[in-house]
Amino acid sequence: MKNFSLARVNGMLLLGVLTVIILYYGRSFLVPLTFGILFSMLMVPVSNRLERWGLGRKSATLVCILIILLCVAGIVALISMQATSFSEDLPQIQQKVQQLIDSVQHWVQSQFGVTPEKQLQFMKQQVAKFSQSANTFATTFLAGTFSILGGFVLMLLYFFFLMWKREKYEAFFLRLSPNEGQGEVKRELREITKVSSRYLIGRLISMFFLITIYAIGFSIVGLKNAILVSFIAVLPTIIPYIGAYIGGLFPIVMALVTGSTGTVLPVIGILVVAQTIDNNIIEPLAEGESLNISPIITIIALVLGHLLWGIAGMVLFVPMFAILRIICQHVPALNPYGFLLANDVEDSEWMKKVKQWFKKKKA
């Protein structure tokens, strides 16, 4: 019995190591494929509706791709227009930055006795070191840009074929299971599709809410280029937990360099209020129980995703762990792991009442 347990542990460790190796070295193939799978799950209801309206499968799939491209083009166009307006304020921003630098230099001199000349000499040394690596940075940046574009094209190709022949892939999983278990496999596939699509829709609703609140609030307090700042602040929130903190830094910095000192506290207040409403009301209602994984597992998913796939992994590993939870809960031998992955934090009483009220309205 002891030997069997030891062999089982060794087998699990070997499986874990092989999985990590495959995920890490296969990321250039797996990342676009995973994005394609998630987007296909999101767009299946749209394709079904278009087919009911009389379009063929290929035409409906191409329309779905067109919708994705239009959304991406709209976001890029809006950011470009705002960036043009932002460039007109660069001289004022540079002047404000210079004033901040002067203030910091005087503070450093008063606190540590380092003269501004020595500070400038130190800065010149750092700039010289940075310039030596500028070519490497530019090469890396261009390679990363082409990699993103290539990955996006691959994602669209995977998306097209996954949507076009989606019944075939469902039939493949059904053939892997015995006849008596095919009903359970169908329910599992439907649950995975529902979880993935609802998670993506919930994230989009949450981001749209934050952009709206940020843009209105920043415009009221007088922060320049409020729409552009709102977009940049919200984009990192697609990463759970830490994305909100990363995105919130940009509006605060912009308030320091473009506005008066009295703008900083209102901007921080807007960020805190919007995130509080989003975390406690918008996200729970929009996503519901779509993920249903515990907070510590979410953190582990973010860390592993960053280590293996970078930023893309931080976005993808959370829904991947949610899919893993569903699989574990439907396989009796893996039920303990499903229990470990599942969320055990209950909603507050007022949140339960709000959800019940929305369910009644929806019914």
Residue 120: CB atoms within 10 Å: 12
pLDDT digits (tens, 9 = 90+) for 43-72: 888 898 899 998 888 899 999 999 989 988
Q: Between residues 237 and 89, which one has the greater pLDDT?
A: 237
Q: Which two tokens stand for residue 333?
A: 């031998």
Give the range among 101-105, 147-151, 266-270 with minimum mean pLDDT: 101-105
Residues 100 and 79: their CA atoms lie apart, in Å, by: 27
Among 60, 238, 267, CA closest to 160: 60
**Please, which residues have CB within 8 angstroms of residue 35's CB and are 6 or more apart in sequence?**
151, 155, 158, 312, 316
**Please, which residues have CB within 8 angstroms of residue 155's CB and are 6 or more apart in sequence?**
32, 33, 35, 36, 39
Q: Which two tokens stand for residue 250?
A: 């940009």
Q: Between residues 262 and 218, which one has the greater pLDDT?
A: 218
pLDDT digits (tens, 9 = 90+) for 150-188: 788 899 999 999 898 888 888 888 887 777 777 778 888
Q: What is the mean pLDDT of residues 279-301?
A: 76
Q: Where are the domains of the chain?
A: 195-289, 291-363
Q: Between residues 9 and 322, which one has the greater pLDDT?
A: 322
**Please, which residues have CB within 8 angstroms of residue 152's CB and are 6 or more apart in sequence?**
32
Q: Which two tokens stand for residue 120?
A: 């400038």
The CA distances from residue 21 to 301, 308, 312, 318, in Å, are 16, 9, 17, 19
pLDDT at residue 133 greater than cutoff 50? no
- pLDDT class for 91, splitting at 50, 70, 90? low
Q: Do the beta carbons of residue 306 and residue 226 sit within 8 Å? A: no
pLDDT at residue 122 greater than cutoff 80? no
pLDDT at 65: 92
**Please, which residues have CB within 8 angstroms of residue 255's CB and are 6 or more apart in sequence?**
223, 263, 264, 267
pLDDT at residue 19 greater than cutoff 50? yes
Q: What integer best gives the mean pLDDT of the chain?
A: 78
Beta strands in 200-288 (DSSP E): none
- pLDDT class for 2, splitting at 50, 70, 90? very low
Among 344, 345, 341, CA closest to 280: 345
Among 77, 35, 38, CA closest to 199: 38
Angle between helices 27-52 and 311-330 (to 10 degrees): 70
Whole-prediction pTM: 0.74
pLDDT at 159: 92
Give the range among 15-29, 168-182, 294-308 with minimum mean pLDDT: 168-182
pLDDT at 98: 63
